[in-house]
């Protein structure tokens, strides 16, 4: 049986609701995205076999996998646009009636304009690459793969118009407004430099009213480059630079492994194991909750997803064990926080890519801090338990053995990447592919939880949707970051900070405060992409190791998700358990304070982050 706590919304259900005439085309889109992910999994595995047995490999294998990742990212983003799930900082919900309508039409018009210009920039980039006649592998021209950029941006632009309003007239108005703006900015004779500030103000307003985050970053880069007279095709060049990063494919591969397990009955089997081991103890249900939530946060990369996916399973377990409802709510909301800094969590990988830090070092660096978070969370949970009125049940060997046997495949999952990487058998990308294939094998062959034709396309497309939304932000942010570097903005920030703050201790405290606020306002992936390139050089100047800084960075951002009044996970918990947001505040706040102490320990005790990378390398 498939787990009922699905984190995947079946794509075709939304198709039928929003675009019924195109359901076959959209199903084809899902299948194509799924095939790309499947090829990403298989190619590195074939490379391992050929290398070990026959002493040769696939021509250009790494480059092929990296370009497939680029295709997955842009097509996944198009799926996210189709489902109206692009990441945004929308405040449009604060408005009602006619004001809400105008706000949405305005943000949609600006968003469509920016994405259309990105599509145009991608076309110019592909035209230039076509003249270069560069080959990827086996005679395939690189420009053929690069065509995915204008195709993807074109699809996103069309879907932004489609989701602007249910009324045809409003959608036509958005399309006309976007066309008019494009003609105005590309054909009018005025000096572009004079329009940079008004353009940025308009873009900021659109972002506040609901424009996706990638539109804000890409739009800012477009406006600033336009003002400097730089061809906008340079943005497409920067986006394509993603394909040159050797660690990039680990993001969709590890995410796919997490989604496959989360969509199966693996959560129930793991809960049964931890319940058999710890359930008889005082506070056993709390320990089970923390361990299971941490496990799934590490493999899905998002603690908010864990709340939605596992909340319906672990909350009844806590209440049945006698836990107070308030404390149970707080524990489920914050119990998975350690997973964000535990391999192979997606934020760890993304930080390593953006900050240009060794991926294996980041994996090792997160182990001790994650154990600290686990210990703190479990300790807090045990202190909140009511006194046990009856003696603890005797250890049931038979029940424990059966639970362990049933979940042995899930429990072995973390060993796949750990042994593959640290024994030298595989590169991080190959280890990620092995992990994804292992998860696929377990849920389809061993347990039969997911069926090839019925379930896998929706799971794969949901994984592609999440990955696409994140990598789309990363791609356009590279252009924005490169502009900032050319304009020497990081150097200016560096000088201001180092002149104002002299003590590294004060710098770290200020950094904690800033990141806590950022964690409330932005999702962790966007914050990494935008802030890491600016903060890492400053941290190095104060003697903070980039790996240590990365763990500080991620721990603070995760804590921001629990920070009242607008931490994202607070709203997830309110929605999932049908509780008022004030109730969630009161439930989470004591755990929040305890985790604050953990973040300070991680910040001011570098040994926790640097010991394992230094000892094992």
23 occurs within a structural domain? no
Rounded to whole angstroms, the Cα distance separating 15 from 21 reads 9
In the predicted structure, residue 385 carries a pLDDT above the cut 50: yes
How large is the average pLDDT for residues 554-579? 80
In this structure, are residues 417 and 321 in contact, taking their beta carbons and an 8 Å threshold?
no
Comparing CA positions, the residue from 189, 270, 194, 192 lying closest to residue 231 is 192
Question: Is 312 among the domain residues?
Answer: yes
The residue behind tokens 């960075």 is 553
Q: Where are the alpha helices (DSSP H) in 50-96?
A: 61-82
Residue 350 resides in a domain:
yes
The three-point CA angle 46-49-50 to 5° equals 85
Q: How many domains does the chain have?
A: 2
- Asked whether residue 261 falls in the same domain as residue 372, the answer is yes
Does residue 216 share a domain with residue 282? Answer: no
| Residue in this structure with the two tokens 């629990």, named with its chain if needed | 562
Q: d(Cα 547, Cα 331) in Å, to the nearest integer?
A: 29
Domain assignment of residue 546, yes or no: yes
> Measuring CA to CA, which residue among 460, 400, 477, 353 is closest to residue 66?
353
**Residue closest to 525 by CA, chosen among 361, 307, 340, 370:** 340
Query: Domain check: are 257 and 214 in the same one?
Result: no
Check pLDDT > 70 for residue 153. yes
- Whether the pLDDT of residue 342 is over 60: the answer is yes
pLDDT of residue 604: 92
272 and 236 within one domain: no
Where is mean pLDDT largest: 50-54, 172-176, 308-312, 410-414? 172-176
* Angstrom distance (rounded) from CA 330 to CA 325: 9
In a domain, 52, yes or no: no
- pLDDT score of 90: 54
* Prediction pTM value: 0.76
Examine the fold and report which residue of 197, 228, 244 is the final residue of a domain before the chain moves on.
244
Residue 305 and residue 5 in contact, taking contact as beta carbons nearer than 8 Å: no
Q: Which domain holds residue 185?
A: 60-244
What's CA 371's distance to the chain center, in Å?
22
* 153 & 260 share domain: no
Per-residue pLDDT of 80-124, as tens digits, reads 898 888 877 655 555 566 777 888 899 999 999 999 999 999 999
Range name among 88-97, 240-249, 325-334 with the lowest pLDDT average:
88-97
Structure-block tokens of residue 32: 């194509």
Using CA atoms, how far residue 337 sits from 334, 407, 416, in Å, is: 6, 23, 23
Those residues with Cβ within 8 angstroms of residue 292's Cβ, 6 or more apart along the chain or in another chain = 267, 270, 271, 274, 310, 314
One domain, residues 467 and 607: yes
DSSP summary character for residue 99: H
Q: Quick check: 350 and 470 in contact, CB under 8 A?
A: yes
Same domain, 390 and 290: yes
Contact 153, 236 (CB under 8 A): no
| Structural element, H or E, at residue 140 | strand 140-141
Question: Tell me, what's the pLDDT at 2?
Answer: 31
Last residue of a domain, one of 244, 265, 288: 244
What are the start-end ranges of the H helices in 279-366?
Answer: 284-300, 303-320, 325-334, 346-355, 359-365
- Which residues lie closer than 8 Å to 204 by C-beta, 6 or more apart? 216
**Residue 358: left if φ>0, alpha if ψ -120 to 50, beta else—which one?**
beta
Closest CA to 256 of 69, 124, 63: 69
Q: Give yes or no for a contact between 537 and 544, defined as CB atoms under 8 angstroms apart.
A: no
- In this prediction, residue 552 carries a pLDDT of 93
136 phi and psi, to 5 degrees?
A: -85, -60
Q: What value does the mean pLDDT of the chain take?
A: 82
- How far apart, in whole angstroms, are the C-alpha atoms of residue 285 and residue 291? 10
Mean pLDDT of 254-281: 80
Domain assignment of residue 145, yes or no: yes
How far is residue 418 from each of residues 204, 267, 431, 432, measured CA to CA in Å? 43, 21, 8, 10
Q: Compute the distance between CA of residue 449 and CA of residue 438 in angstroms, rounded to an integer.
A: 14
By residue count, the chain amounts to 617
pLDDT of residue 493: 76
Is the same domain home to 142 and 189?
Answer: yes
Q: Are residues 319 and 430 in the same domain?
A: yes
Is 102:206 a contact under the CB 8 Å cutoff? no
Based on its alpha-carbon atoms, the radius of gyration of the chain, rounded to whole angstroms, reads 24
Higher local confidence (pLDDT), 53 or 171: 171
Tens digit of each residue's pLDDT (9 = 90 or more) over 585-599: 888 899 999 999 999
Residue 11 has pLDDT above 50, yes or no: no
3-state secondary structure at position 135: strand
For position 89, what pLDDT does the model report?
62
The Cα diameter of the chain in Å comes to 84
181 and 70 part of one domain: yes
Mean pLDDT of all residues in 287-303: 81
Top-ranked range on mean pLDDT: pick from 62-66, 117-121, 345-349: 117-121
The residues, ordered by sequence, that sit 6+ positions from 118 with a Cβ below 8 Å of its Cβ are: 153, 218, 222, 235, 236, 476
Asked, for residue 20, whether it belongs to a domain, the answer is: no
Structure tokens at 196: 């940079």
| Within-domain flag for 9 | no
Residue 140: strand pairing partners? 137
User: Does 134 lie in the same domain as 255?
Assistant: no
Answer yes or no: are the C-beta atoms of 460 and 38 closer than 8 Å: yes
* 257/174 same-domain check: no
Among candidate residues 244, 274, 292, the one where a domain is terminated: 244
């Amino acid at each position: 049986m498939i787990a009922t706590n699905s984190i995947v919304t079946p794509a075709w259900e939304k198709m039928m609701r929003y675009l019924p005439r195109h359901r076959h085309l959209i199903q084809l889109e899902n299948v194509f995205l799924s095939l790309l992910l499947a090829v990403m999994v298989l190619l590195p595995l074939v490379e391992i076999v050929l290398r070990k047995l026959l002493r040769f490999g696939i021509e250009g294998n790494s480059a092929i996998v990296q370009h497939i990742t680029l295709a997955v990212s842009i097509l996944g983003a198009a799926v996210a646009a189709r489902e109206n799930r692009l990441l945004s900082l929308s405040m449009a919900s604060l408005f009602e009636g006619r004001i809400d309508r105008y706000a949405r039409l305005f943000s949609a018009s600006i968003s469509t304009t920016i994405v259309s210009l990105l599509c145009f920039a991608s076309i110019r980039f592909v035209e230039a690459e076509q003249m270069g006649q560069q080959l990827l592998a086996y005679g395939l021209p690189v420009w053929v793969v690069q065509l995915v950029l204008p195709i993807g941006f074109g699809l996103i632009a069309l879907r932004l118009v489609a989701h602007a309003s249910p009324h045809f007239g409003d959608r036509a108005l958005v399309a006309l407004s976007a066309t008019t703006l494009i003609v105005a900015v590309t054909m009018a004779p005025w000096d572009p430099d004079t329009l940079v500030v008004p353009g940025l103000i308009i873009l900021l307003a659109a972002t506040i009213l609901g424009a996706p985050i990638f539109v804000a970053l890409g739009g800012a880069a477009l406006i600033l480059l336009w003002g400097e007279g730089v061809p906008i095709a340079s943005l497409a060049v920067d986006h394509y630079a993603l394909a040159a990063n050797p660690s990039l494919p680990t993001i969709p591969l590890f995410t796919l492994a997490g989604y496959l397990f989360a969509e199966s009955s693996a959560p129930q089997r793991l809960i049964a194991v931890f319940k058999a081991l710890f359930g008889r103890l005082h506070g056993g249900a709390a320990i089970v909750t923390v361990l299971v939530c941490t496990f799934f946060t590490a493999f899905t990369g998002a603690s908010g997803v864990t709340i939605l996916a596992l909340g319906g399973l672990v909350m009844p377990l806590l209440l049945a064990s006698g836990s107070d409802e308030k404390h149970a709510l707080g524990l489920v909301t914050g119990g998975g926080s350690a997973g964000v800094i535990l391999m192979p969590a997606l934020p760890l990988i993304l930080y390593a890519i953006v900050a240009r830090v060794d991926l294996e070092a980041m994996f090792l660096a997160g182990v001790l801090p994650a154990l600290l978070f686990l210990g703190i969370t479990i300790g807090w949970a045990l202190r909140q338990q009511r006194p046990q009125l009856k003696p603890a049940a005797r250890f049931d060997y038979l029940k424990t053995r059966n639970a362990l046997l049933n979940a042995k495949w899930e429990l072995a999952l973390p060993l796949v990447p750990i042994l593959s990487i640290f024994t030298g058998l595989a590169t991080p990308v190959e280890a990620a592919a092995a992990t994804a294939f292992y998860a696929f094998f377990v849920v389809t062959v061993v347990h039969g939880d997911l069926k090839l034709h019925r379930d896998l396309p929706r799971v794969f497309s949901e994984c592609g949707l999440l990955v696409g939304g994140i990598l789309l932000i990363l791609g356009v942010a590279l252009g924005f970051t490169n502009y900032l570097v050319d304009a020497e903005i990081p150097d200016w920030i560096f000088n201001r900070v180092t002149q104002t703050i002299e003590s590294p201790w004060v710098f770290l405290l200020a950094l904690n405060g800033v990141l806590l606020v950022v964690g409330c306002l932005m999702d962790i992936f966007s914050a990494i992409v935008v802030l890491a390139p600016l903060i890492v050089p400053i941290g190095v100047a104060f003697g903070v190791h980039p790996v240590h800084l990365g763990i500080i960075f991620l721990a603070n951002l995760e804590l921001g998700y629990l920070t009242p009044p607008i931490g994202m996970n607070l709203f997830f918990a309110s929605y999932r358990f049908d509780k008022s947001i004030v109730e969630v505040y009161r439930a989470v706040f004591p755990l929040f304070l305890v985790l604050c102490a953990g973040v300070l320990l991680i910040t001011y005790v570098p040994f926790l982050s640097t010991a394992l990378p230094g000892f094992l390398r």
